[in-house]
A = this chain, B = another copy of it.
């Protein structure tokens, strides 16, 4: 019996299956901005809310009308969206040399202080899909509101494997 070694792209697909969503459709954005921008071999990814198609999947204030567990699923969807954009931009997630920075914003009730635990769920996706290339620095904050009432939003900076 032989097994095919997993790759970042197959592990991405496995995480999509686990979440029960598809992330390879068009990722529409409005306004005069763009979802990814490359400079040298740094790639910046715009802030992602847990949207699938046109629906924000996890809406509300974490610690009040959204639980930690729901927020963690939201953070995973955000991370998958960011990876989907990088996959689309680079052709393959194996072209990511190293994740550099992730900032995770959790819409927080006045007493909710587990922003790091929400962010952990997104960090886990990066680690599971990208392996060592998924290690990153991180900032987790609790904010008053997010676009469309989303419970969580994150942005990302990564390094691509090769310069253009």
Q: Identify the A interface with B (CB < 8 A).
A: 30-37, 39, 42, 44-47, 98-103, 105-116, 119-120, 123-124, 126-127, 134-149, 153, 155, 157, 159
Contact = CB atoms under 8 A, between A and B. Distances in A.
Contacts of A110: 144-145
A94 to B, nearest CB: 18
Nearest to A121: B31
Given A116-B31, A143-B144, A137 B105 contact: no
A136 B33 contact: yes
Contacts of A113: 145-149
A147 B32 contact: no
7 contacts: A32-B134, A34-B136, A37-B100, A37-B136, A44-B157, A107-B144, A115-B146
